[in-house]
Amino acid sequence: MIVDYLIVGAGFTGAVLAERIANEFDKKVLIVDRRLHIGGNAYDEYDEYGVLIHRYGPHIFHTSSKRVFDYLSRFTEWYPYYHRVQAVIEGKPIPIPFSLASIRMLFSQKLAEKLEEKLITHFGYGSRIPILKLKEIQDPDLSFLADYIYRNVFEGYTLKQWGLRPEDLSPSVTGRVPILVSYDQRYFQDPYQVMPKKGYTALFRRMLQHPNISILLGANWKEIEGEISFNRLIFTGRIDEFFNHLHGPLPYRSLSFRFENYPQPWFQEVGQVNYPNEYLFTRITEFKYLTGQNFLPYTTVAYEYPEVYDPSKNEPYYPIPRDENEERLKLYQKEAAKLKTVLFAGRLADYRYYNMDQAVARALKLFEGLTR
Ligand code: FAD
Ligand code: UDP
């Protein structure tokens, strides 16, 4: 088989590039994926109860990029959705990100007022403070608050999720969920917070529907490498796997999901409830909130159990952002730079903790640099 572009991986990165190349360059693209479906980790499907579930964990779309939003809007209509999250702290469901509203629910009025005033004076109303930054502040009341939030929200959750303490990861990891000096109870603050009306897989189907695009599923790149001639290869899988672990494996973190259906309309108060301090799972997500299937009499939820990544058993869901891994990544990036016809992009190939919109933005940027 001869194609202009061979793309490994049918997730957001591969699909955006396939669509752009097929439409704008009018070139033939073959997209291969080892899984039996398109969509990568954003893949969704209906379970046996008719609930639209996310097979590889809950995916909530949010972006501050108008460009990414406009681009994806060509392939889907949207369902407006503000994700709400609670964490069970001292047995009570408390809004996350931790905010002034959370303080009010946990402390006496007098203490809450004092902490609120200190936070506003110190940082300004509307600020977003990463927990590791808050911990550095030299003020007895704010230190008390920082320690409280660290112990009750971040420490246990992070140990479960990563097998590491918050300070042993890049500060950007816990910085994804900053303390909000406001009463905003949304998990994200981006201007665009929407879900694809018919789901992600339907969005991908529309994106990849083009006579220039062929799709080969259930095919590992390594196994078909010799059978396809191409001018260029775009690789969105693990960069260390591509180079046969030449510089040692890059570590990843994995998860297993337990899906449960309950014969009742709703299971919990909000889309996601985190359990930083109890149980082996980190969180429970109830899909109907995300998809708007309010009319169904049943509900399906996913429990997430963090796991060590083992290529023979599970999936490399998360790159692990920390200095020593960045050093190893650089060695692989040097190898990648030597290859003139192979391009690397995506959460696994860039080894970056991208959200979907960042994966799309990365792919659009890569495309801009391509010549016919
Ligand atoms: P992927 O979606 O991982 O796609 C890569 C594809 O390449 C896979 O399908 C894989 O099978 C295939 N592949 C890899 N190696 C090979 C090979 N050798 N041969 C053939 N095929 C191969 N983002 C958000 O914006 N909001 C969220 O709420 C959110 N929640 C998430 C929850 C979880 C549990 C996870 C793991 C991720 C979440 N994300 C979320 C991130 C989102 O999944 C990624 O940003 C996005 O999927 C990245 O797209 P990608 O194409 O780079 O990678
Ligand atoms: N986190 C935490 N407690 C929470 C929520 C998040 O400790 O209640 C930390 C944890 O380290 C987690 C990180 O913040 O891995 C990022 O959280 P996010 O919800 O963005 O994770 P994702 O949805 O990508 O798994």
Q: Assess whether pLDDT exceeds 90 at residue 372.
A: no
In terms of Cα–Cα distance, which of 196, 201, 195 is closest to 35?
A: 201
Question: Hey, which of 221, 236, 254, 344 would you mutate to test ligand 1's pocket, going by the most ligand atoms within 8 Å of its Cβ?
Answer: 236
For every residue of 26-89, which 3-state class applies, written as one string? CCCEEEEECCCCCCHHHCEEECCCCCEEECCCCCCCEECCHHHHHHHCCCCCEEECCCCEEEEE
Span from the CA of 42 to the centroid of ligand 1 (angstroms): 6
Q: Which ligand gives the minimal distance to the CA of 177?
A: 2
What is the residue with the minimal CA distance to atom 51 of ligand 1? 11
Tokens 């009742």 — which residue? Answer: 264
Determine the average pLDDT of the residues in 331-340. 97
Question: Hey, which of 92, 151, 176, 186 would you mutate to test ligand 2's pocket, going by the most ligand atoms within 8 Å of its Cβ?
Answer: 176
Q: Which ligand gives the minimal distance to the CA of 14?
A: 1
Determine the average pLDDT of the residues in 105-116. 98
Burial class (CB in 10 A: 0-12, 13-18, 19+), 15: buried
State the Cα–Cα distance between residues 189 and 128, nearest whole angstrom: 10
Q: Which ligand gives the minimal distance to the CA of 37?
A: 1
Q: Where are the domains of the chain?
A: 5-81+194-250+319-368, 91-180, 252-308
For residue range 253-263, what is the model confidence (pLDDT) as tens digits? 999 999 999 99
Determine the average pLDDT of the residues in 356-362. 98
Query: Which stretch of 174-188, 215-229, 279-293 has the lowest confidence by average pLDDT?
Result: 215-229
For residue range 11-62, what is the model confidence (pLDDT) as tens digits? 999 999 999 999 999 999 999 999 999 999 999 999 999 999 999 999 999 9
Span from the CA of 163 to the centroid of ligand 2 (angstroms): 13
Strands in 92-96's sheet, in edge-to-edge order, are 92-96, 85-89, 272-274, 283-286, 299-308, 252-262, 318-319
In terms of Cα–Cα distance, which of 35, 30, 41 is closest to 6?
A: 30
For residue range 140-152, what is the model confidence (pLDDT) as tens digits? 999 999 999 999 9
Q: Assess whether pLDDT exceeds 90 at residue 225.
A: no
Q: Which atom of ligand 1 is nearest to the CA of 318?
A: 36
Determine the average pLDDT of the residues in 117-134. 98
Q: Assess whether pLDDT exceeds 90 at residue 1.
A: no
The reported pLDDT for the residue numbered 207 is 98
pTM of the model: 0.98
For residue range 160-174, what is the model confidence (pLDDT) as tens digits? 999 999 999 999 999
Region of residue 150 (left: phi > 0; alpha: psi -120 to 50; beta: else): alpha
Q: Give me 2's structure tokens.
A: 């001869």
CATH 3.40.50.720 for domain 5-81+194-250+319-368: yes
The reported pLDDT for the residue numbered 260 is 98
Q: Assess whether pLDDT exceeds 90 at residue 232.
A: yes
Q: Which atom of ligand 1 is nearest to the CA of 15?
A: 51
